[in-house]
Amino acid sequence: MSDFLKKPLSLFDIAGKVAIITGASGAFGALASQVLAGAGAKLAIVAGSAKALEDTAAACRELGAEVEAINARPSDEAACEAIISKTVERFGRVDILVVASGKNDVAKITEMAPARFLDVMDANVTQSWLMARAAGKQMLGQGEGGKMVLMSSARGLLGHPAGYTAYCASKAAVDGITRALGCEWGATGITVNAIAPTVFRSPLTAWMFEDTENAQTVRKGFLARVPKGRLGEPQDLAGPLLFLVSKASDFYTGHTLYADGGYTAG
């Protein structure tokens, strides 16, 4: 009998693994940090907001995790290399990378200056590429594989009429990076996948969960496209994340996993 059949939950064990989470002050980044903390990982959490970063660090420490809080943004090659260096200096290695940093800027294309478009592309695409590159060099040097999870969106597959050209283009590019690196690093033991949620509960979307007339109208229209019939909750992202950063997903790479209640299926 295979060992994993005796203890199948061991496939999801990441205790002692060293994880970097960028965008740790944002909704998904903070959630990802706490999920991995609760699962026993050692964390290097990264964010530009010092106060929000410390809040996330404190929450992770309460869950028993060792935490290195890095007040930075993955804005260029040097910054990304420094994030890796600080992590290795503290913990000796890098096993997991979760890129949760990014942004959106909504405007109709004729009303959006090119600089605003490029800003979204930089935050979502270039910075994801730079962090994957920096972490990849470290993982390849270690020679023991690794796990990377990039932050995509249902908008990488589907358009939106409200002025999402920058966001949709950026998330489609993240999906492309995910596929390309899945192929490029397939034989190395490094897996690269993306999580693509639709609307889930966060400070930015809290209004959609309210009982106001506007929220009910918007929610009704949106839920008509969601087979599960509800908006997403944080725990709906926790399971997919743990799967993608653990041994359970060793044969999965180059995939975009839609945590969307079936939204992209119809």
Catalytic residues: 167
What residue type is 10 in one-letter code?
S
CB atoms within 10 A of CB 40: 15
Cβ atoms of residues 74 and 46 within 8 Å:
yes
Token pair for 60 = 């992770």
- How many other CB atoms sit within 10 Å of the CB of residue 30? 25
Helix, strand, coil percentages for the chain (3-state, nearest 5): 50, 15, 35
Closest CA to 120 of 66, 176, 174, 194: 174
- Contacts of residue 144, Cβ cutoff 8 Å, sequence gap at least 6: 95, 189
SS3 107: coil
Torsion angle of the four alpha carbons 135, 240, 32, 260, in this order, in degrees rounded to the nearest 10 = 110
Nearest residue to 25 (alpha-carbon basis) of 152, 204, 167, 193: 204
Taking the C-alpha atoms of residue 236 and residue 241, their distance in angstroms, rounded to an integer, is 9
CA 126 to chain centre: 15
Span between the terminal Cα atoms of the chain, in Å: 41
